[in-house]
Structure 1
Amino acid sequence: MTRTPPKTHSENHSPEPLQISLITAAHPQRLDHLPDTSRSIEEVRRRLNRTGTAVEWIVVVDGPGADQGLVSQVKADRVHQLPIAQGVSAARNHGLAMSRGEWVFPVDADDMLDANGFESLATQAFDKDIVWVATNRLWLDDRSHTPRWINDIRRWRQFELEEEWTSPFPFHPNNMMVRRNAALAHFGWPGLGVNEDVGYCLLASAVGAGLSLPISTLLYRRWEGQTIRTKGYHEAKVHAFQTMEAVINARRLQAGLPPIKAPSPSPL
């Protein structure tokens, strides 16, 4: 289907500075790369300071046992340590509740912001009906494209993402900036052990319209311990898709909308 490239923002006004909250859920035993994350965020802060854009960074450590020396190196606005491990979704949701920005964007504790791309994203003004904005990520080691690359601007109407749900997803699901109030309204990241990012995107897309933009905003680290490489991941993904389908269809039934069908999960 041919897509007409939409406007990313209104043309009848100058871009107004955004207020953005960055949310990092950090495993207490996996903080080695957090100082790199911190330095990349500081670079983004420096660049955006001249535009008047406020960047808030919240780090939520998921349980006790963190190396306090490493934690002390990060220049976060708030570091919150959970008393017990609760999982990445819960940690992010605690950070979401603490945030104060108009927009929220997740940054994992082993990744880095792409300063050029994030500055480009943060200095745009979006129409009031735009609830979410998806962007690209690059591999950290060689700056090459990651899978699910966005090549063209696309505007998504409300509900369109769930109604056209594909696997692989049309963009990386952990690269979405969402209006804070919209994210809170659907309770943030669902309590799933895998593919919680897909659920987060689908829930946000049901709140309102969105955009996918060919801008790189994040540098993604490769490592062998990633969840997608673990035994049983594909089976867990199947169950996660089934759960998301049930939740989405219960909400659609209440709204008088026809049910959707989850796709067959891709291997990754």
Structure 2
Amino acid sequence: MRVEVVTAVHADYARFLPAAWESLRAQTHTAWAWLVQIDGPASAVRTALVGCGAAEDARVRIATNGTREGPAVTRNVALGRTTAPFIQNLDADDELEPGALTALATALDTHPVAGFAVGQARDLLGSGDLVEFPLPFTPGPIARGALVSHWETEPGRYLLPVHPAGVMWRRDLLLAAGGWSALYNMEDTGLLMTASALAPGIVVEEVTLRYRRHRNQRSTQTTNFEGGGEQISLVRQRAAALLAGPGWGPQLVG
């Protein structure tokens, strides 16, 4: 089954692209293409892709926004370029485990009612060490709305049930959910909860994502943004409204 891997990247993260590229080259699943969408100035990103050899590979398709628009817009622009039935997100500073695409695509292929698949993620520290964080689910199907129920947002405690950066999406569901949400530092969380409110998913046993920890991450930056609580409320209200409806049905391919 074809998989298209979507990566939004800006100049500051260009240095991470060779590692992301090597993680793609190591995949046991070979029917993939990499859609790199450049957010803002393109020179540093193109230089990095040429330097690691990715730009010469026919499976790599590079496009630019022309302006700096942020991760949600950039991923959605890349989504508009996709045609494959399965879409894998890969943040520019992260890496996929070698068996990630195989495990996730196989799970979706064998569970046609599942709209998304996700595996374990490990933090990749600057030292090179990997730190595991077990999921609150056993491998197998998870019910529609389960991720919303397990999302912890109480004051002083914020915890997502799965890592949204490593999800493989059924493209039909991704389109129905409207792509990545227009939220500040929560664009992938908004999508994750919307998708869970629309469809069941599947958890694979394998570790699929290496999530790089570094000082330049948006999630570690101080900010004057004061709308975090309102954003959480919006995501929860949207999820509740969707859960009250009929949900999403897969468009099966014969």
TM-score in same-fold range (> 0.5) = yes
For the residue of structure 2 that corresponds to 1:149, the secondary structure is coil
Contact 1:97 1:184 in 2 (8 A): no
For the pair 1:142 / 2:112, whether they are aligned, the reply is: no
Q: Which moved more, 1:128-137 or 1:154-163?
A: 154-163
AA aligned opposite 2:70: G
SS in 1 for 2:119: strand
**1:158 aligned to which of 144, 164, 167:** 144
Q: Is 1:213 aligned with 2:196?
A: no
CA 142–196 in structure 1, closer or farther in 2 if over 3 Å, else same? same
The runs of at least 4 aligned residues of structure 1 exceeding 6 Å deviation read: none
| Secondary structure of residue in 2 paired with 1:205 | helix
The one-letter amino acid of 2:191's match is Y
Q: Is the 8 A contact 1:23 1:95 kept in 2?
A: yes
CA offset at residue 26 of structure 1?
Answer: 0.3
When residues 215 and 102 of structure 1 are mapped into structure 2, their CA distance, relative to the original with a 3 A threshold, is same
Q: Counterpart of 2:67 in 1: which secondary structure?
A: coil
Q: Between Structure 1 and Structure 2, how many residues are aligned?
A: 232
List aligned pairs for 1:190-209, cutoff 5 A: 190-209=181-200
Contact 1:24 1:109 in 2 (8 A): yes
Identity %: 24
Superposed, which structure 2 residues align to 1:92-241 within 5 Å? 92-124=75-107, 125-140=109-124, 141-145=128-132, 147=133, 149=135, 152-166=138-152, 167-232=158-223, 235-241=226-232
- TM (normalized to structure 2)? 0.81
TM-score, with structure 1 as normaliser? 0.77
Partner of 1:61: 38
Tell whether the 8 Å contact from 1:227 to 1:233 is kept in structure 2 after alignment.
Answer: no
Partner of 1:262: none
Q: 5+ unaligned residues in a row in structure 1: which ranges?
A: 1-17, 258-268
User: Which structure 2 segments of 5+ residues have no match?
Assistant: 153-157, 248-254
The CA RMSD measured in Å over matched residues stands at: 2.5
Q: Larger % of helix: which?
A: 2
Is the aligned partner of 1:77 residue 2:76? no
